[in-house]
Amino acid sequence: MSDLHSETSVAFVRTEQVPASPPPASTSGLQGWLRENLFPTPLQSVLTIIMGAIAGYILWLALDWAVFHAVFTGESGEACRGEGRQDGACWPMVFTRFPQWIYGFYPVAERWRVNIVFLLGVLSLVPMLTPTLPYKKFNAIFLLGVYPILTLLLLTGGHFDITASTWLTTFVFVAAVVLPILFLGFVAKIISPALAAISSAAIAGAAALLLVLFSIDFGLTYVETSQWGGLLVTLVVAVTGIVASLPIGILLALGRRSQMPVVKLFSVAFIELWRGVPLITVLFMASVVLPLFLPPGTNFDKLLRALVGVALFSSAYMAEVVRGGLQAIPKGQTEAAQALGLTFWQNMGLITLPQALKLVIPGIVNTFIGLFKDTTLVGIIGLYDLLLIIQTANTDSNWAAPQTHSTGLFASAALFWIFCFGMSRYSMFMERKLDTGHKR
């Protein structure tokens, strides 16, 4: 009995672990993935097959049009006409006209000026938008203070006709700003006299410097804004709109949260008026009615009129974005600032706005994406933005071909898509980056 036991027991005890078997083929690897994600139930399988068929068909149509049946080489519309050549895109048209899409009708000899503007913009914007790089403050001063003036001088050529009346108007405006500051500093003593004196001198000096800069002849040929076009106009409209809308939007947002009934009423009325109407009516207003509002005989640039319209329109949207940020800052921050004896503007400038604006960076980028897409509307009032310049190919007899329309439209769609998709990814990246301090 005991013998038998000793003989069998030892032989059946394993000394090492059984190696783990691989999971069943149906739950791992490609097969498992397919089964889990595409064919879990009969109903889902049918859905997958239908979806796959639709998606595949659309993809095939797109590839067929853009690649398989497309024409890639040629000198004129001749290459894209005729049997078997008009079923796909006409890419040579895009290649030939691409410089015009970027610069519009900007004189070829002067295009280096646009290139410098683009290059400087990229060189200062990239470090600005990369959170890890230093010198943000200097960069911001350059981007918001120096760069716009440089752009204006380079793109137009400068050497504006600055008359005595311009000096006089500027003097009146500067006085209107400087006198209250001096009053606050020396009579009311709300701000320190030294600060009042320095800021007044700075404002007056900057105004004078600007007028002098604008009147200097740098030897650049004057390029009218009617010659600008393409991506240049699109970027000028969008960037000016967003940069101008930021300060106005901040003021409106503060006004909307103000305790003063009149300030609040004006802010709400302004914001709701512009947000309630379509951009196209604002642009029509800017191009047709705005000249009527100004003293008789004043006539100013079509592009500038559109810019005014776009800036007013986008500042209403920006105000709502900034208001969202202000609402997200806990009340304790303001109360702590007041307890420390800070005034309203000190609190806003040093405590609340820096936090609020940081929070709404994704919102600002999203507003910019919307504005960038909306710049296509300026074509309706006759400015040659990217979309309109692409469409000029339709009336070019050199490129007369059946697919000129579709090639131009899909190419512009792709260009806009690249810009907007890139910006939306950046906005998502910033959202993740900033999503730290305010979640409890």
**Of 149, 213, 357, 380, the one binding another protein by CB under 8 A:** 380
Q: Does 427 bind another protein (CB under 8 A)?
A: no
CB nearer to another protein: give 61 or 67: 61
Q: Which of the ranges 88-96, 149-157, 420-428, 430-438 carries the binding residues for another protein, by CB under 8 A?
A: 420-428
**Of 93, 242, 387, 401, the one binding another protein by CB under 8 A:** 387
Q: Does 243 bind another protein (CB under 8 A)?
A: no
Q: How far apart are CA 406 and CA 391, in angstroms?
A: 10
Q: How far apart are CA 394 and CA 268, in angstroms?
A: 44
**Beta carbons within 8 Å of 358's beta carbon, 6+ residues apart:** 434
Q: Which of the ranges 161-169, 208-216, 351-359, 418-426 carries the binding residues for another protein, by CB under 8 A?
A: 418-426
CB nearer to another protein: give 158 or 408: 408
CB of 129 to another protein, least distance (A): 19
Q: How far apart are CA 376 and CA 385, in angstroms?
A: 7
Our CA angle for 147, 125, 96, nearest 5°, is: 90
* Exposure b/e, 60-71, CB count within 10 A at least 16 = b: eeeeebbeeebb
Q: Which of the ranges 13-21, 200-208, 346-354, 414-422 carries the binding residues for another protein, by CB under 8 A?
A: 414-422
Q: Does 63 bind another protein (CB under 8 A)?
A: no
Q: Does 360 bind another protein (CB under 8 A)?
A: no
- CA-derived radius of gyration, the chain: 31
CB of 39 to another protein, least distance (A): 9
One-letter amino acid identity for 315?
A: S
**Of 1, 262, 339, 432, the one binding another protein by CB under 8 A:** 262
Q: Does 108 bind another protein (CB under 8 A)?
A: no
Q: Which of the ranges 49-57, 126-134, 151-159, 206-214 carries the binding residues for another protein, by CB under 8 A?
A: 49-57
CB of 291 to another protein, least distance (A): 7
**Of 295, 332, 341, 437, the one binding another protein by CB under 8 A:** 295
Q: Does 84 bind another protein (CB under 8 A)?
A: no
Block residue for tokens 């890139």: 422
Block residue for tokens 């000394």: 15
| CB 271 within 8 Å of CB 145 | no
**Beta carbons within 8 Å of 254's beta carbon, 6+ residues apart:** 326, 348
CB nearer to another protein: give 209 or 294: 294
Q: Which of the ranges 160-168, 196-204, 216-224, 269-277 carries the binding residues for another protein, by CB under 8 A?
A: 269-277
Element containing residue 29 per DSSP (H, E): helix 29-37
Q: First vs last Cα of the chain: how many Å apart? A: 71
For residue 136, the number of C-alpha atoms closer than 13 Å in the C-beta half-sphere is 6
| CB 400 within 8 Å of CB 328 | no
One-letter amino acid identity for 73?
A: T
CB nearer to another protein: give 223 or 316: 316
Q: How many residues does the chain have?
A: 440
Q: How many residues line the site for another protein (CB under 8 A)?
A: 57
Binding-site string for another protein from residue 165 to residue 204, where x marks contact by CB under 8 A and - marks none: -----------------------x-x--------------
Binding-site string for another protein from residue 210 to residue 239, where x marks contact by CB under 8 A and - marks none: ------------------------------
**Of 52, 145, 205, 349, the one binding another protein by CB under 8 A:** 52
Q: Does 353 bind another protein (CB under 8 A)?
A: no
Q: How far apart are CA 105 and CA 384, in angstroms?
A: 9
Q: How far apart are CA 337 and CA 346, in angstroms?
A: 9
DSSP string over 271-310: HHHHHHS-HHHHHHIIIIIHHHHSPTT----HHHHHHHHH
Task: Catalog residues that contact another protein under the rule CB under 8 A.
Answer: 37-38, 40, 44, 47-48, 51-52, 54-55, 188, 190, 259-263, 266, 272-273, 275-281, 284-285, 288-289, 291-296, 369, 373-374, 376-377, 379-380, 387, 391, 405-406, 409-410, 412-413, 416-417, 420-421, 424
